[in-house]
A and B are shown apart, each in its own frame.
Chain A
Amino acid sequence: MNAFTSSVHLVYLACAACFVLGLHLMNAPATARRGNQLSAAGMAAAVATTVAVLARDHEITAFAVAALAVGVAGGTIAGLLTARRVKMTDMPQLVSLFNAVGGGAAALIALGDAVEHAGSLARLPLQTTLTIVLDVVIGGVTFSGSLIASGKLAGLVPGRPILMRGGRTVNILLALVVATLAGMFLTGHSSISGLAVITVAALGIGVLMTLPIGGADMPVVISLLNAFTGTAVAMAGFVLGSTPLIIAGALVGAAGAILTKLMADAMNRSIGAIIAGGFGTGDDATPVSGAGATGPVREITVDDAAIQLAYAAKVVIVPGYGLAAAQAQHEVVALAQALTERGVDVSYGIHPVAGRMPGHMNVLLAEANAPYTELKDLEEINPEFARTDVVLVVGANDVTNPAARRPGNAVSGMPILDVDKAKSVIVIKRSLGHGYAGIDNELYTDPKTAMLFSDAKAGLSALLAGLAAYATR
């Protein structure tokens, strides 16, 4: 190994170290931005080093340089524009879209490599053909699956579960096609056309896998697809013998796997059941159809609620999926700021699945200028409810249902926010409709709970106005 090759390897190693340290710095909001910048610096170094390698080897053709340059320029502009312009509420679909193109690029690397070896495919070692097939399959499923997920999140594809008759049969058939052709590919009967069919079948599986999954399950799905992309990139690394791809792919695979597990646990659902699909609702949830709590429910007027909040010493706001769907994050933060100015201790209790992707609610509130020190996760906030005067629940349902502590119902065992331990509770909700689990929320019939029937955005604005009117009185 000459000096040049050795230095290239060492730079790649340093880049990988930047990725790991960058992720490590993400363990606190204060250092996270620096972590991302370190990771970006590592990426820039990896790209620059690869340019140097290409320039030195002189093997690359002028056409390849042109294709690379045009592609990179187009992709960079697209990435820049979308990343700069995206609204924070639209973050889940953008992350999904970037995930799709990443998976697609990984699959294309394997395809491209196979195309260049078209004449000698049968002579490739098993490790190369195996990783080519794995890369094409995982990358293909991720690409089409993430595009559908992104479309669902953006409302371009209906968010409700789309169940087609025979959809599962088609999926099994496609899987059989992939398995058969992959078997042939690995045993020396390899052809480009076979690989092309595998690609198309993988794309089909991705679509059919994501369509039946409901909008509320999206946090799990995009985490899972993220893990897939990581794996696909690692496989591309195996195909090309490129260590940075293997390391980065494994890191992302681990991140996706952890988030998938966390999200599925927080929703009290198994990953298998989510993939099987058919559950979950679209964004415009809150079914009103006759379903409702059975016990007596106490209603509260906006003015009374505002006075109750103004007189409290400690208020915890519990924002849920409904708040994200109604895009009322600015209103809720404005209300919290008004209360803080009156000397009320305000914090936010955020359930892991509040929002449309892991941690989405925190980003929405941070954008609306809520200090991150007030954003508390489940473990942090639960012990505090006993000392809380008023909990304001906005657009959250199942995650506050005390029935979860008892066995034998749809939410049993689900990690919940112990809202009912507080001295009093105000729930802003449009109706007594069921949440995602489809059962009555016992919180609503609790004597210390008062219901403020309103849309999240309108209700919060009314509370803020009520508070202002009361304060000037």
Chain B
Amino acid sequence: MSPLLLADITVFTLSLLVGFEVISKVPATLHTPLMSGANAIHGVVIVGVMVLAASTTTLAGYLLLLVAAAFAAMNVVGGYIVTDRMLAMFHTRAAVRS
């Protein structure tokens, strides 16, 4: 195994553990926005699409790139907006009254 791969595996494992730790503290009330927000975070796949674009030189590659870019952009943009919309609705009693 290359040192680079080992570093990647380390990062992956630690991130998984951080994820478990942070997310297990989210209350049940917020589980839908949590899932939708996590969904938006995996929209980071758009960065991957851009990295792939740098090495794309074939027609088939361009077509795959086009679809991947559309999918990823929809995921990241829609995910963050819809999560924000949901979270904006959570009010305390005082805020509901006003």
Interface, chain A (partner B; CB < 8 A): 15-16, 19-20, 22-24, 26-30, 32-33, 35-37, 39-40, 43, 46-47, 50-51, 54, 57, 59-61, 63-65, 67-68, 70-76, 78-80, 82-84, 86, 88, 91, 94-95, 98-99, 101-102, 104-106, 108-109, 111-113, 115-116, 118, 125, 127, 222-223, 226, 229-230, 233-234, 236-238, 240-259, 262, 350, 352, 355, 357-360, 362-363, 366-367, 369-375, 377-378
Contact = CB atoms under 8 A, between A and B. Distances in A.
Contacts, number: 401
Q: What 10 A-B pairs come out closest when comparing CB atoms?
A: A71-B69, A254-B19, A75-B73, A359-B31, A79-B78, A250-B15, A79-B77, A108-B68, A358-B31, A75-B70
B30 A29 contact: yes
Given A43-B44, A237-B48, 14 more contacts: A60-B56, A75-B71, A83-B79, A98-B78, A118-B58, A241-B4, A244-B47, A247-B11, A251-B15, A358-B31, A359-B28, A362-B32, A367-B89, A377-B27
Give the bracket for the number of chain B residues in contact with chain A. 35 or more
B23 A258 contact: yes
Contact of A116 (B15, B30, B55, B91): B55
Chain A interface, >50% SS class: helix
Nearest to B34: A26
A248 B67 contact: no
A453 B25 CA distance: 39
A1 to B, nearest CB: 13
Chain B interface, >50% SS class: helix
B45 A236 contact: yes
B8 A83 contact: no
A362 B34 CA distance: 12
17 contacts: A23-B41, A39-B41, A50-B47, A67-B53, A68-B49, A75-B70, A78-B70, A101-B75, A125-B2, A127-B2, A245-B45, A254-B23, A259-B31, A262-B31, A352-B31, A362-B29, A377-B28
A233 B89 contact: no
A98 B15 CA distance: 22
A112 B16 contact: no
Contacts of B85: 83-84
Nearest to A230: B42
A67 B69 contact: yes
B16 A43 contact: no
